[in-house]
Amino acid sequence: IIFIGIVSGIPKSIITTFELSRRGGDSPFISVIFLVVIVTLIAFIVFFEKAQRRILVHYPRRQLGNKIYGGDTTHIPLKLNIAGVMPPICASSLLLFPLTVLNLSQNKDSAILQAIVSYFSPGKLVFILCYGLLIIFFSIFYTA
């Protein structure tokens, strides 16, 4: 469900970017760079999500009566990214929930609340730093 929600928004973003380029807001070069970055980012995410470390396991030969059973080899596939997409989901939920509550609150004229909302709005430096730190925290927490 999360994957479909993310992927369904990609065509709209690409169309919006190219419409902006066509109207003169951005240069076509920037739009092409944007498209290349998006495709590369998606390919990297898919590659990293599918990555696994194969641990080779050797089974020894054994003898039961007069029969000798040969040793076999196989592997144990271990995912490199065990946490998956849970850390970004938990981090965004934790950061955006207080903002949602503050935006729905009755006291919208408070300067302190306005400052908190402005600092922790998506795209702001404080939000990005906290988001990155929370992703690291939840990655460690989820895999421990």
In this prediction, residue 19 carries a pLDDT of: 80
What average pLDDT does this structure show over 115-141?
Answer: 88
Per-residue model confidence as pLDDT tens digits over 60-116: 887 777 887 777 888 898 888 788 888 988 999 999 888 888 778 777 677 887 787
Q: What is the DSSP string of 98-125?
A: HHHHHHHSS-TT-HHHHHHHHHTSTTSH
Using one digit for the tens of pLDDT, what is the confidence trace for 14-34?
788 778 777 776 677 877 888
| Domain presence at residue 18 | no
| Bridge partners, 52 (sequence order) | 79
Residue 134 has pLDDT above 90, yes or no: yes
The answer to the question of residue 23 being in a domain is no
**Do the domain assignments include residue 1?**
no
Cut 0.95: pTM above it = no
Which residue has 């503050």 as its token pair? Answer: 102
Residues 28, 35: Cα–Cα separation, whole Å = 11
Question: Which residue range forms the structural domain that includes residue 130?
Answer: 82-144
Q: How many domains does the chain have?
A: 1
34 assigned to some structural domain? no
Is residue 59 a part of any domain in this protein?
no
pLDDT, mean of residues 1-18: 78
3-state SS, residue 53 = strand
In a domain, 121, yes or no: yes
> Phi and psi (nearest 5°) for 83?
-70, -25
Is residue 21 one of the residues assigned to a domain? no
Structure tokens at 58: 């050797």
| pLDDT at residue number 131 | 93
Q: Which residues contact 77 (CB under 8 A, 6 or more apart)?
A: 52, 53, 54
Q: How far apart are CA 136 and CA 141, in angstroms?
A: 9
Is 40 a member of any domain? no
